[in-house]
Structure 1
Amino acid sequence: MTDQLPASTLRLALVVGGLVLSLLLGFGVGRLNSGPSSAAGSALAAGGDHTHPPGAGEPGVGGLAVTSAGYTLTPLGGEFAAGRAGEFRFQIRDAGQRPVTRFAIVHDRPLHLIVVRRDLSGFQHLHPGMAADGTWSVPLTLPQPGVWRAYADFTAVTADGTQVPVTLGVDLVAPGGYVPRPLPAADRQATVDGFTVGYEGSPAIGVDVPVRFRVRAGATTPTLEPYLGAYGHLVVLREGDLGYLHVHPDTELAGDAVAFQLTVPGPGRYRLYFDFQVAGQVRTAEFTLSVP
């Protein structure tokens, strides 16, 4: 006669066996999961193909966020009446919400402030002053009602001397009836205050392309003066989200042309704002660029 375990003993053995099996399976699953996760962590730490610095967005495009790379653009006020002179005050704060006071000089200034309405009209290029407590201020008039975008383009200097280039953006509002202006058609030539400005070059997606601007005054070529560390300054904004493109200027003239290296991130329409200086006065020529 075969011995049989009591029912209670059998149930206890089954329960214990199930627990042991669960622990073994859990250990195996944990090992399987930990392997790929550790490898992914190593790739992230090493700067793998699909990683970006903290707070970074689309490569080569800035100004889409009020916080990026551990820095925050913090307006101190920001109510404006259309057409009335006001003042824009703000701070750049670090991850601990402390005002930043150390900035590198880039293009002859520690910070460049670009202001434009969301239909890409009303462009302004300003240079605020900074107080000892890290508060920046600049006179600002928003000439028409609407929502405006303010970009702070700067390079912060950390405690160990590391330079961190960042462009942050924030909306400013001038209440009133807003009638957006249609973006002008794409054109390689523009006129401003009697000067005719044209450009050469066909920007391509994801590729650095030289773009050269030439300034004419009737049949003559005026003498361009250095402005912001070069013979011109170029800001490029993308229609739709108002992404701010980083443009690299050549410090010397290319013959009689002001040259830049420009990369566009994708198809769409862009607005180009080319600043140049003649006889001590800065003017801005504007162009629409269409990238298929």
Structure 2
Amino acid sequence: MKKRSLLLITVVFLLSACGKSAALVPAVTPTAMGQEHAGHSGHGDAAAGDGVQAVFKLASSEQAKANQDTPVTIQILDKDGKSIENFDLNHEKKMHLIVVNKDLSFFKHIHPEYKGSGLFTITTLFPAGGNYRLFADIIPSGKGNVVKSNSLTVQGDTPATIELQPDGKLTKTVDGTEVTLAMDHLMAGMDINLAYTFKDAVTQAPVKNLQPYLGAVGHVVILDANTVQYLHVHPTDEKTTGPEAKFMTKFPKSGIYKIWGEFQRDGKVLIVPFVVKVP
């Protein structure tokens, strides 16, 4: 497996000409609004995603509703509107789809099924009403990493928005595993090391039995509070099993960010969220 020491994506959101925010459109509409792209620095030209389009659609003409299965299709096209046929595996999958809600209290990492001719499909469930953002992470063959995103408004009861607040302590316990995150020289625009340390929550013994998750010891997804800056980071040593997992990235701008670390132990995927303020 090809080792990836740094995977950095910055998504700059584009508004439609009328100035309205992007929205996922139903299948009966021929085009989707609010498509964005970004390259992954560290994998060639940061503009490698230019010329790739993504059309996000609901599989029915009805609006998405909370707590109901929602089929979504994502059609990947070239600059001329023709289907892109071939995609490289990116950590065992042809597409990683990250779904978050507006205040980042909800996070889901799923993998749409590839149907051929550039078409990916997924059926997923949104736990509450409100605004969501979908990020599709792909590698069209012969191109660099590409991220396309779109918005979706889900009908249903919408909980009050919770303002994102930096964590006072970067230690959390998830499914019996105590996880601590340490960072050096936290500052925008500088390379930064993210070091996760794992202990058994009961015995405090170092955890050395982390299992591969999607071909690596773990994955880290980072979004800023406005869901404008998006980073997907892979470990510097993919094959380690603990008690440490290290990553390297760069926060593009100052602000508040939420960091989700994904790891696997005893057959369970551990999703460990932290919120930090980057000077």
Q: TM-score range by the shorter chain?
A: 0.7 to 0.9
> Corresponding residue for 2:94?
110
> Corresponding residue for 1:163?
143
> Corresponding residue for 2:173?
191
Q: Do the aligned residues in 1 keep the contact of 2:213 with 2:263 (CA within 8 Å)?
A: yes
Give how far 1:60 is off: 4.0
Give how far 1:263 is off: 0.4
Quick one: which amino acid aligns to residue 210 of structure 2?
Answer: L
Q: Does 1:220 align with 2:202?
A: no
Give how far 1:64 is off: 3.2
* 3-state SS, counterpart of residue 97 of structure 1: coil
Q: Which has the larger radius of gyration?
A: 1
Quick one: distance in 2 between partners of 1:288 and 1:156? Answer: 32
Q: Does 1:64 align with 2:46?
A: no
| Aligned Cα root-mean-square deviation (Å) | 2.0
Q: Does 1:205 align with 2:188?
A: yes
Greater shift, 199-208 or 87-96, is seen at: 199-208
> Corresponding residue for 1:140?
124
Structure with the larger RCO, 1 or 2 (CA within 8 Å, 6+ apart): 2
1:13-162 matched pairs, under 5 angstroms: 60-62=9-11, 64=13, 66-68=35-37, 69-77=50-58, 79-157=63-141, 162=142
Quick one: distance in 1 between partners of 2:80 and 2:232? Answer: 27
Q: Do the aligned residues in 2 keep the contact of 1:144 with 1:174 (CA within 8 Å)?
A: yes
Q: Do the aligned residues in 1 keep the contact of 2:36 with 2:147 (CA within 8 Å)?
A: no
Unaligned runs of 5+ in 1: 1-58
Quick one: which amino acid aligns to residue 121 of structure 1?
Answer: S
> Corresponding residue for 1:229?
215
* Change in 2 beyond 3 A, CA 1:86/1:241: closer
Quick one: which amino acid aligns to residue 135 of structure 1?
Answer: L
> Corresponding residue for 2:21?
none
Q: Cα deviations across residues 174-205 of structure 1 (Å, max 9, x unaligned)?
A: 12343212224323112222322111113332
> Corresponding residue for 1:276?
263
Q: Do the aligned residues in 2 keep the contact of 1:235 with 1:273 (CA within 8 Å)?
A: yes
Q: Do the aligned residues in 1 keep the contact of 2:94 with 2:114 (CA within 8 Å)?
A: no
Q: Do the aligned residues in 2 keep the contact of 1:85 with 1:139 (CA within 8 Å)?
A: yes
Quick one: distance in 2 between partners of 1:196 and 1:134? Answer: 41
Quick one: distance in 1 between partners of 2:187 and 2:239? Answer: 23
Quick one: which amino acid aligns to residue 64 of structure 1?
Answer: F
Q: Do the aligned residues in 2 keep the contact of 1:247 with 1:263 (CA within 8 Å)?
A: no
Quick one: which amino acid aligns to residue 221 of structure 1?
Answer: P
Give how far 1:272 is off: 0.3
Quick one: which amino acid aligns to residue 95 of structure 2?
Answer: L
Unaligned runs of 5+ in 2: 1-7, 15-34, 38-49
Greater shift, 137-146 or 216-225, is seen at: 216-225
* Change in 2 beyond 3 A, CA 1:90/1:156: same
TM-score, with structure 1 as normaliser? 0.73
Q: Does 1:260 align with 2:260?
A: no
> Corresponding residue for 2:162?
181
Greater shift, 118-127 or 255-264, is seen at: 255-264
Quick one: distance in 2 between partners of 1:276 and 1:168? Answer: 24
Give how far 1:270 is off: 0.3
> Corresponding residue for 1:7?
none
Quick one: distance in 2 between partners of 1:154 and 1:60? Answer: 12
Quick one: distance in 2 between partners of 1:102 and 1:225? Answer: 29
Give how far 1:89 is off: 1.4
TM-score, with structure 2 as normaliser? 0.76
Quick one: distance in 2 between partners of 1:231 and 1:286? Answer: 17
Larger % of helix: which? 1
Quick one: which amino acid aligns to residue 175 of structure 1?
Answer: Q
Percent identity, aligned pairs only, is 28
Q: Does 1:239 align with 2:225?
A: yes
Larger % of strand: which? 2
